[in-house]
Amino acid sequence: MVEANSPQQVWEAALGELQLQVNKANYDTWLKKTTGLTYQDNELVVGVPNTFVAEYLDRNQRSLIEKVLTGLLHREIEVEFRVEASQPGTFLSYGRLGRAGAQQASLPLFNPKYTFDSFVKGQCNQLAYAAAQTVVQNPGQSYNPLFIYGGAGLGKTHLLQAIGHTALVNNMKVLYASAEQYTNELMAALRERKTQEFSDKYRSAEMLLVDDVQFFSGKNKTAENFFHTFDELHNASRQIALTSDCPPQAIPLLSERLRSCFEWGLVTEIQPPNFETRLAILQDKAKQDGVNVSLDVLELIARQIQQNIRALEGSLNRVIAYAKLVRAMLTPEIAAHALKDIAGSGPRPALLTPGLILETVARSFQLTLADLTGKKRDKETTLARRLAMYLIRQETNCSLAQIGQELGGRDAAAVTNACKKVTGDIDASPYLRRKIGDIQQTINPTKG
């Protein structure tokens, strides 16, 4: 409980509490540089470094902050975020919603969701993520340029904008454009004889972020212009970060010198996410959207949708919408139904049932179904059971728990262990490979 108090004290106490409630990155980015300004009539005014932070806190953390304050002061508190104009070098006009006006047209329009906080890390993207963080911490000092490449929907734009968000918070003058926007803007400038303005704008940036530079391919005039912008900023140690759908050497029809510029700093790839990361992304997304989706359902989606993260998010939305539409509980069956069309065009036709696989495995080992699902523990039966679990995992959308059920009520951990064991043994054992291959041929003759 905080007694009758100065705004500074109140806010300090709240910050102490907030530090426990949000993660460190979040705290450091959005809350650390704030101060208590005034506290009157149940209203606390909090000073923030720029409009961008004000906007973010207002939109994303107001309710948490008010809850914390109400808890501390034992009454309803409203909070207002106010930009403290005293900070030198503030580029208000570059803030996302900077109301300073004149340069409105050139404000970077970042997607508020594309922050470091909401970016789920996994094996597929950890290097790119770490590099992006390094770049915002030491702009112009470490990797310049940072070049991130990878397939569609894997998070390149998200990371690039996360860099931009954080740089804006740090009051840097950030310019963000897709290569296509850059091209269109340049063409317009040429038409209207405003190339000087165009150059001035880009060359005054403290940080330049350009998305999808593969678009410069074959556009000689724009690429040439971009080379000069790049060169000038780079010489002045201004940070540049770029994304592309392929590495520099694979961008066709690009001048050698621009290509080599792209390779000067760090070139890093984002790969497609593995199952665990897909699942983590879905869990995160469901949480953000405030919907309760069971692990079974999330696993089903993560298994079925493998191409990219955009498709993953789309599928989750689709499943939720479908369940609402038919007014049904969101069960794996309903989810499977909602995803049917997508699955049809996907890599794995979901025709196989656990029952069919169990039968095939049993026959292949000359066992009965009862053996497979029962308690026998001799070597043959154990191996057959393990393969059955592995194959059901591979070939169907069943969750670990469901597989355990199919195998006579075993638990999910047993299934995990079995799958791990098979995956580990498969390389060393030609017998095992052949056996699996044979069974797969039987259950899915169209495959391979």
| Binding-site ranges for Mg ion (CB under 5 A) | 156-157
Among 155, 332, 354, 404, binds ligand ADP (CB under 6 A): 155
Residue 399: Cβ-neighbour burial (10 angstroms; 0-12, 13-18, 19+): buried
Task: Please give the structure tokens belonging to residue 383.
Answer: 């191996």
Partner interacting with residue 216 (select from Mg ion, ligand ADP, none; CB below 5-8 Å by kind): none
DSSP letter at 213 equals: G
Residues 111-150 touching ligand ADP, rule: CB under 6 A, are: 113-114, 118-120, 125, 150
| Three-class DSSP category at 20 | helix
- Which of 97, 130, 152, 321 binds ligand ADP (CB under 6 A)? It is 152
Q: Residues 6 or more apart from 154 whose CB is under 8 A from it?
A: 124, 125, 270, 271, 272, 273, 308, 309
Minimal distance, residue 180 CB to Mg ion, in Å: 11
- Of 201 and 310, nearer to ligand ADP (C-beta) is 310
Residue 158 sits in the site that holds ligand ADP (CB under 6 A)? yes
C-beta of 208 vs 403, nearer to ligand ADP:
208
Judged by beta carbon, residue 158 or residue 238, the one nearer ligand ADP is 158
Pairing of strands 174-178, 35-40: unpaired
Residue among 154, 305, 343, 392 that touches ligand ADP (CB under 6 A) = 154
Binds 247, which of ligand ADP, Mg ion, none (CB < 5 to 8 A, cut-off by type)?
none
Nearest to 389 by CA among 381, 400, 376: 400
Distances (CA, A) of 386 to 187, 300, 374, 391, 409: 63, 21, 13, 9, 14
- Which residues from 268-287 bind ligand ADP, rule CB under 6 A? 281
Size of the site for ligand ADP (CB under 6 A): 18
- At residue 22, the 3 state secondary structure works out as coil
> Which helix (DSSP H) or strand (DSSP E) does residue 362 occupy?
helix 354-364
Q: Is 165 in the site for ligand ADP (CB under 6 A)?
A: no
Binder of residue 153, out of Mg ion, ligand ADP, none (CB less than 5 to 8 A by kind) = ligand ADP
Asked if 153 touches ligand ADP (CB under 6 A), the answer is: yes
41: how many CB neighbours lie within 10 A of its CB? 6
Contacts of ligand ADP in 302-331 (CB under 6 A)? 309-310, 313
Q: How far is the CB of 157 from ligand ADP (least distance, A)?
A: 3
Minimal CA–CA distance to 202: which of 216, 220, 222?
A: 222
Instruction: By CB under 6 A, name the binding residues for ligand ADP.
Output: 113-114, 118-120, 125, 150, 152-158, 281, 309-310, 313
